[in-house]
């Protein structure tokens, strides 16, 4: 029989559709991909364009990306000229930052692109795929530098040119400091520019902030690498053994490997559709269960398409109310800033035909 479905979208456009289904369900959809999540960003809704705030963010990211990419070449050349292992691994850290910043820009660009008939969620999973590729390259290159450092320790490390080391390391410290300041300013701008009152938040903006914080943390790690290079140069310059250089490179390599492993972990969890840490399933269940008129909550799924693009689907048994699906969806979006929300309402005596793979608390 024909059943009536009530859809409530993130931009509060109500639609009634007739579909051929075996039972009556109400669906509430949050964050219609054709409209974009941000009700206050009509430019993003046009597809392929940024709002004024997003354009400022993207500009800062691009400036930092170009600056670091140029200095990567300079630092690598300086590392080779100085014969310094710690500068080589610090230059590799800069290359990792170039990848991370490029992925942040890519994520921002993909976030405003319209989905297609083939990619109905858009290309937001491109970010975790690129993160895994990036992490693999970094770990392979880091392993090579570690092997080279170990070989130098065994055969006797050649004394590096500490003058070049100091100049390059101090330059790296200045570049990282300027870049971190620019990124921090973009984070602050985003958080200030998207406070719309009444606790209203957007998953779209939250996603950009997450990307920017990730880039900022990368730059902080680079700063540690630059400091390690400066310390090594000073120690060798005042008469310390040349072995300080490869030993310092191991310290920076450890930072690189830690960052790469975090990329692998985060990217894999997204691809495996794990519930993101900022959306605990229990908290989502509690919000929905406490909603007036809800009798039971089941078939709850929480996952993310990528940073800031989260999704929740849930089935509820509820007392008859044609507006309850929309109101639950609004409550979930207001509580968690989720981009995609789908609520399926079932009558108290209706059997749910959800697959047996659904998660239920307390069931192993």
Q: List the pLDDT tens digit at each of the 364 positions of the chain.
A: 333 344 444 444 334 444 333 334 444 443 333 333 333 333 334 455 666 766 777 788 889 899 999 999 999 999 999 988 888 888 888 887 888 788 778 777 776 677 889 888 878 787 788 778 878 877 887 888 788 889 888 887 678 899 999 999 999 999 988 888 887 776 655 444 443 333 333 444 444 555 566 667 677 777 878 888 899 999 999 989 988 988 888 888 888 888 888 888 888 998 999 999 889 999 999 999 999 999 999 999 999 987 668 999 999 999 888 899 999 999 999 999 898 999 999 988 887 777 765 666 665 4
CATH class of 2-40+277-346: alpha beta
pLDDT score of 44:
37
Tell which residue, 248, 259, 262, 261, has the closest CA to residue 88: 248
Looking at the structure, give the CATH architecture of the domain made up of residues 48-271: Up-down Bundle (1.20)
Residues 6+ apart with CB under 8 A from 109: 58
Detail the DSSP E strand segments found in the chain.
Answer: 2-8, 14-20, 26-30, 294-306, 309-318, 340-346
d(CA 337, CA 266): 20
Question: pTM for the full model?
Answer: 0.68
Half-sphere exposure of 237 toward its Cβ, with a 13 Å CA cutoff? Answer: 15
pLDDT score of 4:
37
pLDDT score of 339:
86
CA angle centred on 300, ends 295 and 304, rounded to 5°: 145
pLDDT score of 192:
45
pLDDT score of 248:
87
CB distance 284 to 302 below 8 Å? yes
Domain extents for the chain? Answer: 2-40+277-346, 48-271
């Amino acid at each position: 029989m024909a059943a009536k479905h009530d859809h409530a979208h993130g931009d509060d456009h109500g639609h009634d559709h007739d579909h051929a289904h075996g039972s009556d369900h109400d669906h509430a959809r949050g964050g219609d991909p054709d409209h974009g999540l941000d009700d206050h960003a009509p430019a993003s809704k046009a597809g392929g364009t940024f709002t004024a705030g997003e354009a400022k963010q993207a500009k800062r990211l691009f400036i930092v990306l170009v600056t670091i990419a140029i200095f990567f070449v300079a630092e690598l050349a300086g590392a080779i000229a100085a014969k310094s292992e710690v500068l080589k691994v610090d230059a590799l850290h800069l290359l990792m930052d170039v990848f991370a910043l490029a992925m942040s820009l890519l994520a921002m660009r993909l976030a405003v692109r319209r989905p297609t008939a083939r990619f109905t969620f858009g290309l937001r999973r491109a970010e975790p795929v690129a993160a895994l590729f990036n992490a693999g390259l970094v770990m392979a290159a880091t392993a090579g530098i570690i092997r080279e450092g170990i070989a130098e320790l065994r055969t006797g490390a050649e004394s590096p040119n500490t003058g070049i080391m100091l100049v390059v390391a101090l330059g790296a410290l200045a570049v990282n400091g300027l870049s971190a300041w620019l990124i921090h300013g973009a984070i602050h701008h985003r958080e200030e520019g998207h406070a719309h009152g009444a606790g209203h938040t957007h998953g779209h903006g939250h996603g950009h902030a997450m990307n920017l914080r990730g880039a900022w943390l990368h730059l902080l790690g680079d700063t540690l690498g630059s400091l390690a290079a400066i310390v090594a140069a000073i120690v060798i310059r005042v008469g310390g053994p040349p072995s300080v250089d490869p030993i310092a490179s191991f310290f920076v390599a450890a930072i690189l490997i830690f960052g790469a492993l975090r990329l692998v972990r985060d990217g894999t969890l997204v691809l495996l559709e794990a519930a993101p840490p900022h959306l605990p399933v229990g908290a989502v269940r509690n919000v929905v269960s406490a909603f007036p008129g809800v009798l039971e909550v089941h078939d709850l799924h929480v996952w993310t398409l990528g940073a800031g693009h989260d999704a929740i689907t849930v089935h509820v048994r509820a007392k008859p109310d044609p507006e309850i699906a929309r109101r639950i969806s609004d409550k979930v979006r207001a509580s968690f800033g989720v981009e995609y929300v789908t609520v399926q309402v079932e009558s108290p005596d209706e059997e749910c035909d959800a697959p047996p793979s659904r998660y239920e608390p307390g069931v192993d």
